[in-house]
């Protein structure tokens, strides 16, 4: 049966969608009322039997109400394809009709959380570049129906597209497939300090909640006994601090690995028909299809450890509306890319470009001076606050370490800041410890702005800011005449280019 005709009439999700909707409503209710749950646990021993019966009956009524609401949401959620539009009707009391032209659809992604994996259904997200309000999530479809919906969208957008059977028979080999060992290598290159702080914040939060629970049952002293430590022993034990440091380092590395494993498990990248098909995730599996036209820019990131391992991270930036809260979802990161794989990705997106052969152009030395002034003021403020709080000059000895590190970071940032430009592409380098290379097609720039402070005006330099559908890209502190030349050239390319920018 033709996949397009399958959706010519209104259809519903899989009946299993009732369970998915029900669990999501329960989760939302729990997020709002969790404080009441802890209050209930704290005062559990003070409630009489009759009061507990009323509470339990009320809880059952609420759960039944949520179940009925989940069923009504499922019942009233219907969709179809009609003359090049995806049409959706939803709502219980307040009805809502959404009609999205296929020209505005940016991506069609598959997603499976742990519950959806257990009951074997897929969530299909239909993303648009224009507005967050027109993004559609179909919570529960069978794989066959989800695949048919994707094929139907493709047939409407490109009637000459091959059938699904032909496409499957010509399935290419993956450009990139990251296994468990490779993910372990990738995790070693992560920011372990950031992951450690996140882990410690979660642990502190859990301990605080456990304390409330134990207090509710009158066993707070038992928890305090578990975490009680002799302060004098800690201070006088050098071995303890060494063990603690090693333990924290291990926790940081392990938390980095867990984070990478959850997000990028079984990462597979296919390149086909000018598009990228990406599958990844452990608890939540995602299948994302990125069309060449929808990608606004890419950023290749590496650092000394990544270079040693011969890998880089590639981030795809898609078009977003100006105030979309889920802008982070438009950033798709591919970890563990080798040099030849990055070259293949650039070849698909930019065909032939000589931008990397061009001479590096660096910012004016004022860019470095500005960083030194700001860092000096920040250190001065930090020392002032530390002295006023600690009431001792011992803190100033830390500057022996802080000042050289600050100087090193400023020098690294200045050395890594550059740009290259050819007839089609702008390449901007940035970073400190990491090196970021951003590739931006000139015709995808929506507007260009030159900004200049009074200090820059004295030196005849400006900041050049490029606005794209995925955000801003900046070249800081360059000669004004050079900036005008780039400004006029970019405007000319944007006006005369006939390629679709999204």
pLDDT tens-digit profile of 39-49?
777 676 677 78
Give the residue among 291, 274, 324, 294 at the shortest CA–CA distance from 444: 294
- For residue 445, the tally of other CB atoms under 10 A from its CB is 21
Cβ neighbours for 31, distance < 8 A, ≥ 6 positions apart:
none
Contacts of 303 (CB under 8 A, 6+ apart): 189, 433, 434, 435
Domain boundaries in the chain? 3-171, 182-264, 366-496
User: Is the distance from CB of 453 to CB of 369 less than 8 angstroms?
Assistant: no
**CA quadruple 134, 135, 140, 141: dihedral sign:** positive
Side-chain-side CA neighbours of 411 within 13 Å: the count stands at 6
Predicted pLDDT of residue 151: 80
Interior angle at CA 137, CA 132 and CA 142, nearest 5: 160
Instruction: State which fold the 3-171 domain adopts.
Output: PH-domain like (2.30.29)
Contact criterion met (CB below 8 Å) for 23 and 123:
no
366-496 in CATH: which number? 2.30.29.30
Q: Do domains 3-171 and 366-496 have the same CATH topology?
A: yes
Give the per-residue pLDDT at 325.
44
State the pTM of this model: 0.78
Pairing mode, strands 331-337 and 176-177: unpaired
- Which pair of structure tokens corresponds to residue 262? 């959850």
Q: pLDDT for 62-108, tens place per residue?
A: 999 999 999 999 999 999 998 888 999 999 988 899 888 887 777 78
Report long-range pairs for 313-316 (Cβ below 8 Å, ≥24 apart): 313/337, 314/342, 314/345, 316/276, 316/290
Given this model, what pLDDT does residue 168 score? Answer: 44
Which pLDDT does position 161 carry in this prediction?
A: 46
pLDDT at residue number 185: 86
Low-confidence ranges of the chain (pLDDT < 70): 1-5, 42, 44-45, 129-134, 154-172, 192-241, 320-330, 392-394, 500-502
């Amino acid at each position: 049966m033709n996949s397009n005709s399958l959706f010519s009439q209104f259809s519903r999700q899989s009946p299993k969608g009732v369970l998915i909707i029900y669990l999501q409503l329960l989760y939302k209710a729990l997020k709002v009322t969790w404080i009441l749950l802890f209050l209930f646990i704290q005062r559990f021993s003070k409630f009489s039997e009759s009061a507990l019966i009323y509470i339990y009956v009320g809880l059952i009524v609420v759960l039944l109400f949520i179940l009925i609401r989940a069923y009504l949401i499922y019942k009233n959620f219907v969709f179809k394809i009609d003359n090049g539009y995806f049409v959706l009707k939803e709502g219980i009391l307040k009805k809502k009709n959404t009609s999205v032209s296929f020209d505005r659809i940016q991506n069609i992604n598959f997603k499976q959380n742990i519950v959806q994996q257990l009951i074997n259904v897929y969530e299909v997200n239909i993303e648009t570049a224009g507005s967050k309000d027109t993004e559609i999530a179909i919570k529960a479809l069978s794989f066959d129906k989800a695949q048919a919906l994707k094929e139907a969208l493709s047939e409407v957008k490109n009637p000459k597209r091959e059938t699904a059977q032909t496409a499957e028979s010509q399935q290419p080999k993956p450009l990139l497939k990251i296994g468990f060992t490779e993910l372990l290598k990738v995790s070693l290159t992560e920011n372990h300090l950031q992951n450690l702080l996140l882990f410690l914040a979660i642990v502190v939060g859990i301990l605080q909640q456990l304390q409330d629970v134990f207090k509710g049952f009158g066993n707070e002293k038992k928890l305090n006994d578990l975490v009680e430590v002799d302060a004098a022993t800690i201070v006088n034990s050098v071995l303890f601090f060494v063990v603690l440091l090693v333990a924290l380092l291990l926790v940081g590395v392990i938390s980095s690995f867990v984070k990478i494993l959850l997000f990028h498990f079984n990462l597979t990248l296919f390149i086909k028909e000018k598009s990228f098909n990406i599958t990844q995730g452990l608890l939540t599996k995602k299948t994302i299809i990125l069309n060449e036209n929808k990608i606004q820019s890419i950023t290749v990131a590496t650092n000394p450890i990544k270079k040693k391992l011969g890998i880089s991270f590639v981030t795809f930036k898609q078009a977003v509306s100006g105030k979309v809260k889920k802008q982070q979802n438009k950033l798709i990161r591919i970890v563990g890319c080798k040099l030849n794989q990055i070259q293949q990705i650039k070849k698909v997106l930019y065909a032939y470009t000589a931008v990397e052969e061009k001479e590096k152009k660096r910012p004016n030395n004022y860019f470095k001076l500005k960083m030194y002034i700001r860092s000096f003021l920040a250190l001065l403020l930090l020392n002032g606050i530390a002295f006023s709080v600690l009431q001792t000059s011992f803190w100033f000895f830390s500057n022996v370490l802080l000042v050289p590190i600050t100087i090193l970071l400023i020098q690294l940032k200045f050395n890594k800041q550059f740009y290259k430009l050819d007839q089609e592409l702008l390449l901007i380098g940035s970073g400190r410890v990491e090196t970021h290379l951003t590739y931006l097609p000139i015709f995808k720039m929506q507007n260009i702005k030159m900004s200049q402070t009074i200090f820059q005006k004295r030196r005849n330099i400006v900041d050049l800011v490029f606005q794209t559908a995925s955000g801003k890209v900046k070249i800081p502190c360059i000669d004004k005449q050079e900036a005008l030349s780039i400004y006029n050239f970019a405007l000319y390319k944007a006006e005369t280019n006939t390629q679709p920018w999204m």
